[in-house]
Structure 1
C-alpha cells in the first residue's frame, strides 16, 4: 500500500504558518538567513525548495540550456544578467505628476533612474519615501503599473 505524499500538505501549511516559523524553515532548508522580503516571497521560495528537495531540482541539461539562453540575451556578461530589463518603465524624459497633501510633485524619468527636486534617484520608491516619510511602492504611489506588470 502506497503512503500518501506529505509534500502537498506541507506546501498548503505554509499559508497559515506564522512568519517567524517561515523564517526558521528558511534557515533549515537554505542554511542561510532569510532575506528581508515579504511573506509571499518567503512562502513561494520555501514551496519551491521543499519540492526541489523532495522531488529533485532542474536537470543539468535544463540548467545548461538556461545558461545558453542567458548568454544569448546578455552576450555572456554576468553583470547584465543580474539587471532585469524593465519594459514597463516610462521612456526617458517622461514627467510623472502626483499631488501629495496639496503639493504637486513632479518626477522626471532619466536614462539611469529618476530625478525629483533636482536630485537623482535610482527608484520611484525612494522618491515616494522622501515625499511621504513612509515606505511606498513607487510604481503604485505614482499610479503606474508596478514592475511585475500588475496594476
Structure 2
C-alpha cells in the first residue's frame, strides 16, 4: 500500500503548491469558479449554489486529486454514521429549570430539572426512570416516558425465514 506521503506531491506540474491553488480558488470570481467546477466535475455548477459553496466544492476536488480520496472503509463508516446517526440519538442536555409535563392515568405530572436531578411531588430523584416507575407502577425508560426519546421501532419479522422454519 502506498504511503500517504507518496500521494502528496508538493506542487503541480505548473509548480504551484496546493495551498497556493486553494488561495487562488478562495479569491476567484464566480464565473471562474463555475468554469473550474465544470472542468473538475464535468458538469456545470448548479445555478442555485452560492459562490462560497462552489469554491468549497472546487477546493475539495483539488485536495482530493492531490491527496487522494478517503479510504473506502472510512468512507463507508462515515456514510453509516450519517444514515443511522451512529446508532444512537444524540442525548439532550436539560438545563435546570426545565419543566417536563406528562399526563398518565388522567393525572398531569410535572417534573422540574434541578441541579441534583429531577424534582417531582416535593422530592428530588436522580433519574427520570425512577419517577416514571413511581407514576406508572411499571419499569419505564424515563426519557422515553417523558417524550425525550422516540420509542424504538420493533424489528420487522423475517416472514420468508419464518415460513421456511415452519415448513421444516
Which interval holds the TM-score relative to the shorter structure? 0.3 to 0.5
* TM-score normalised by the chain length of structure 2: 0.39
Decide which structure has the larger Cα Rg and report it.
2
